Chains A and B, each alone.
Chain A
Amino acid sequence: MDPIDDIELSEEEEEITAETVLKTLQSAWQNERLAPEILPHHNDMVECMLGQIQHMERNINKLPKTDLRASIHKMELSRIKFIICNYLRTRLNKIEKYCIHIINEERQRMESGTNYLTPAEFKYAQEYLLNMESHLKNVVLDKMPGNMQTLELNKMAIYPNLQTHVFLKANDTVSCVVLEDLVGDQDEEIDLEEGSQHILQYKPVADLVKTGKVQLV
């Protein structure tokens, strides 16, 4: 179909898919912002949305500048762009902060094929760590006495605090979430009902967040 035909029509057609994509992206963004550790990437969603944006931008450009629809759509687009940028930026921040930890974990995950980072992100993380190492070496480490020159990465690593508490909402009914008792050994089991909200420690629900059964709020 010729895209010039009618902007309304083409919008209508995509609405069903584009909307779900946007919703998934939004919840991924929300989870990423609130979770202490890095989550599996949603690169397909990002790319799909980018394609969608491109398409809509082309459509908008065909409208006259003074058209009200154009400015409303533009506003919507800039909101979506913000979400994408912020989502990617949040991930980058986490990658930089927990660099050593993430690279180590990711190497193991890559073997099992369940990588959390996109190839580009992984490359970025490695490069970042490399730059940091060489900088530290050049500036001080190489000038230190012989037995002090090694950079102990394990000592430098920062780990995300998985014990932190999060607000969450259950998308599905999940039964038997085990809450570990760190002090004693009285583990507690709870059930999450669909639509209910809780404040829990992040660690026991980490897997549920990754599979999308609960949403952080």
Chain B
Amino acid sequence: MFAEKVIELLKEAERNPDTIDPFNDEKIRQILEEMHLLFKMNMNDANATNENKSLWTTVQVRHSALERNKRCLLAYLYDRMKKIKTLRWEFGSVLPPDVRELLSDEEYQWFSKYSTNLASYMRSLGQDIGYSGIDLTENLKPPKSLYIEVLCMADHGKLELEDGDVITLKRNSRHFLPTAECQTLIRQGVLKQIV
């Protein structure tokens, strides 16, 4: 059937709306193959229709199938781009290896481009008044209190605080830190907030 594979592709992607699946290289290749096949058949028939109008409907149906395939493939990629964008906000510019594996090479390229673009925008903020830019990926949640208690989940090494103090983050150690400075580490999973 026409355009059946592409629907499978979209349905698979839809199954996990919050997480990203591995890039489905194989299926996309199959869909593109189907498109080429349809196109070839259309070319043959279209050349033949000059004399014979009876094939015209077939050509039209195939053409809509092609259009549909294209539309759905673009939708698939666009949806993945949206998910990749959220990865940038969650993990910062460096992806953990297990997440990195889920992206195709082109998608990873897109991710780095997106990341660079975002970074250069953030750097440009407030440049006129001598600011070196703001990191918009901080302050994702409204601040509730100045300091929070955190539990260290992994050995991270030394962390220098804004006021110059240096603390060592060791597994299972507890700290009382300024909220602003441990947000990134919390998102990376090094620290965990204890309520």
A residues near B (Cβ < 8 Å) are 46-47, 50-51, 54, 65, 71, 74-75, 78-79, 81-82, 84-86, 88-89, 92, 96, 120-121, 123-124, 127-128, 131-132, 135-136, 138-141, 143-148, 151, 155-156
Per the bound structure, the CA–CA distance linking A155 and B134 in Å amounts to: 35
| Residues 78-92 of B at the A interface (beta carbon under 8 Å) | 78, 81, 85
The 7 closest A-B pairs by CB, nearest first: A145-B39, A120-B124, A85-B139, A135-B110, A124-B121, A78-B143, A50-B126
Q: Are B110 and A120 in contact (CB under 8 A)?
A: no
Per the bound structure, the CA–CA distance linking A7 and B146 in Å amounts to: 21
Per the bound structure, the CA–CA distance linking A81 and B143 in Å amounts to: 9
1/0 contact trace for B144-174 toward A, CB 8 Å?
Answer: 0110000000000000000100000000000
- Having A78-B180, A124-B121, one finds 6 other A-B pairs with CB under 8 Å, namely A50-B125, A92-B136, A144-B70, A148-B70, A155-B71, A156-B74
CB of B128 within 8 A of chain A?
yes
Q: Which A residues lie within 8 Å of B163 (CB)?
A: 65
Most B CB contacts (10 A, CB to CB) among A71, A123, A135, A136 go to A135
CB of B59 within 8 A of chain A?
no
Q: Are B85 and A140 in contact (CB under 8 A)?
A: no
Q: Are B121 and A148 in contact (CB under 8 A)?
A: no
Q: Which B residues lie within 8 Å of A96 (CB)?
A: 85
Q: Which A residues lie within 8 Å of B146 (CB)?
A: 71, 74-75, 78
| Residues 94-134 of B at the A interface (beta carbon under 8 Å) | 104, 106-107, 109-110, 113-114, 117-118, 121, 124-126, 128-129, 131, 134
CB of B28 within 8 A of chain A?
yes
Q: Which B residues lie within 8 Å of A124 (CB)?
A: 117-118, 121
From the candidates A85, A131, A146, A155, name the one contacting B138 in the complex (CB within 8 A).
A85
Interface residues of B: mostly helix, strand, loop or mixed?
helix
Q: Which B residues lie within 8 Å of A74 (CB)?
A: 146
From the candidates A51, A82, A139, A143, name the one contacting B104 in the complex (CB within 8 A).
A139
Q: A120-B125, A144-B35, A145-B66 are in contact. Are A78 and B134 (CB under 8 A)?
A: no
Q: Are A145 and B36 in contact (CB under 8 A)?
A: yes
| Residues 30-73 of B at the A interface (beta carbon under 8 Å) | 32, 35-36, 38-40, 66-67, 70-71, 73
Q: Which B residues lie within 8 Å of A139 (CB)?
A: 28, 77, 104, 106-107
A73 smallest CB distance to B (angstroms): 10
Q: Which B residues lie within 8 Å of A82 (CB)?
A: 139, 142-143
- Which residue on chain A has the smallest CB distance to residue B75? A156
From the candidates A51, A79, A92, A140, name the one contacting B74 in the complex (CB within 8 A).
A140
Q: Are A131 and B131 in contact (CB under 8 A)?
A: no
A95 smallest CB distance to B (angstroms): 10
CB of B93 within 8 A of chain A?
no
Q: Are B124 and A47 in contact (CB under 8 A)?
A: no
Q: Are A128 and B117 in contact (CB under 8 A)?
A: yes
Per the bound structure, the CA–CA distance linking A89 and B135 in Å amounts to: 10
